[in-house]
Amino acid sequence: DVKVTQSSRYLVKRTGEKVFLECVQDMDHENMFWYRQDPGLGLRLIYFSYDVKMKEKGDIPEGYSVSREKKERFSLILESASTNQTSMYLCASSATGTGSYEQYFGPGTRLTVT
Amino acid sequence: EDKVVQSPLSLVVHEGDTVTLNCSYEVTNFRSLLWYKQEKKAPTFLFMLTSSGIEKKSGRLSSILDKKELFSILNITATQTGDSAVYLCARRITGGGNKLTFGTGTQLKVEL
């Protein structure tokens, strides 16, 4: 079974703090993704990565950065957390190739910025 | 704009009812459409649809895609309380890597 793990289930941070959210997958997937999920807005893609050290902006990258130094690990960084970044953050991974592959999700990190 | 629109936004039914959830999308360079179920945690994969008119089935759940009319439906027969969840659909386009665009979801509640 594919396993995607996230470093924290719940996190409370103060405005202005630098926040790191970690995601690790164990299936040697090339692609990794960070989403945020808010009521009424669904899942929105922040950043994704299709290879080590490669990254691409998703639909809402402002206020976020990412790092992928190893294939299995994809980190989301909030440089200076703000209250409007309070949300559920979901990491996902998928294989790549000529087919179409589903994404496997981690359990999520509920971040509260006060 | 390549939206994915789900309807209804929420639904309350009684155990044993049959429900149909809808998903429409507004993009022509379509590759596949996916359905996920989300309870109080990570979304779990249900179906991937790439061809029109071919039903995918898993137990009481089934789904079909209409690429001409740009929509998909997810059917759940003989609903149970364990079917209560948010159902998400997402589409993948050609040339988009493996990026997905999600709809906002349908919140289904199944009551006794």
DSSP characters for A60-83? --TTEEEEEEETTEEEEEESS--G
Q: What is the mean pLDDT of each run of 10 residues along chain A (114 residues)?
A: 87 97 94 93 93 92 97 97 97 80 92 97
Q: Give the pLDDT of residue B21.
A: 98
Q: Give the pLDDT of residue B99.
A: 84
When pLDDT is averaged across residues B42-48 and rounded to a whole number, the result is 93
Q: Give the pLDDT of residue B96.
A: 65
Q: Give the pLDDT of residue A100.
A: 60
Q: Give the pLDDT of residue B1.
A: 54
Closest CA to A46 of A85, A103, A80: A85
Q: Give the pLDDT of residue B84.
A: 97
By Cβ distance, the residue of B43, B98, B104 closest to A101 is B98
Using DSSP bridges, classify how beta strands B10-14 and B106-111 pair: parallel, antiparallel or unpaired: parallel
Asked if the Cβ–Cβ distance from A50 to B105 is below 8 Å, we say no
Query: For B49-63, what is each residue's pLDDT tens digit?
Result: 988 889 999 999 999
Q: How many CB atoms lie within 10 A of CB B74?
A: 25
Q: Which residue has the higher pLDDT, A77 or B30?
A: A77
- Pairwise CA distance, residues A41 & B34, whole Å: 18
- pLDDT exceeds 90 at position B19: yes
Q: Give the pLDDT of residue A40.
A: 85
The C-alpha of B33 sits at a distance from chain A's nearest C-alpha, in angstroms, of: 10
Q: Give the pLDDT of residue A2.
A: 64
Q: Is A3 near chain B, with CB under 8 Å?
A: no
Cβ neighbours for B39, distance < 8 A, ≥ 6 positions apart: B84, B85, B86
Q: Give the pLDDT of residue B41.
A: 81
Closest CA to B79 of B47, B107, B111: B111
Q: Give the pLDDT of residue A98.
A: 62
When pLDDT is averaged across residues B11-37 and rounded to a whole number, the result is 92
Q: Is A32 near chain B, with CB under 8 Å?
A: no
DSSP characters for B54-103? --EEETTEEEEEETTTTEEEEEE-S--GGG-EEEEEEEEETTSTT--EE-
Query: Burial of B27 by CB count in 10 Å (0-12 exposed, 13-18 middle, 19+ buried)?
Result: middle
- Pairwise CA distance, residues B13 & A71, whole Å: 44
- Token pair, residue A18, equals 């630098």
- Pairwise CA distance, residues B92 & B101, whole Å: 7
- pLDDT exceeds 70 at position B3: yes
To test the contact with chain B by mutation, choose from A30, A103, A109 the residue with the greatest count of B C-beta atoms within 10 A, namely: A103
When pLDDT is averaged across residues B68-72 and rounded to a whole number, the result is 91
- Pairwise CA distance, residues A6 & A14, whole Å: 20
